[in-house]
Amino acid sequence: MINVGRTKRQYDSESMINMAPLVDLIFLLLIFFIVTTSFVRETGIEVDRPSASTAVAQQKGNILIGISEEGLVFFDNKEIDVRAVRAHVERALAETPETGVVIVADRASHTGVVIQVMDQCRLSGAKNVAIAAAVKEL
């Protein structure tokens, strides 16, 4: 004869779900998403970029330097002096040597300040210095 009580107990013990592998899987997914997320760096100011027909998006991570309408220079959300640009860019290039520098200048900013910042970037050893522009809509 079939012992119903014994059979029922066997199925109860086998039907439990072990949560440890599921928790491990959740942690692995969390780590994967954290590692693959790219963080957007900002200059610290809102600027009105000039537009250009030939503007091209750059794919690599960049060092961003902002120049306001009044000629103030910003790096990593902090206002810095034009003479300090070289030291800040050298420090950033030490962390990632192959990255480029993008100058995000306001449309009404003075050309002299932009040239000084570009000069300081090149003196720091940056090989790729670009000026940010918005894509011109036709």
Q: Give 23 or 46, the one with higher predicted confidence.
A: 23
Are 38 and 68 in contact by the 8 Å Cβ rule? The answer is no
Residue position matching structure tokens 């300081």: 120
- pTM flag (> 0.85): no
Q: Which two tokens stand for residue 60?
A: 């690599």
Query: What is the rounded distance in angstroms from the CA atom of residue 1 to the CA atom of residue 4?
Result: 9
Q: Which two tokens stand for residue 71?
A: 């000629």
Convert the pLDDT of each residue in 54-108 to its tens digit.
Answer: 666 665 668 889 999 898 999 988 899 999 999 999 998 998 888 888 888 888 8
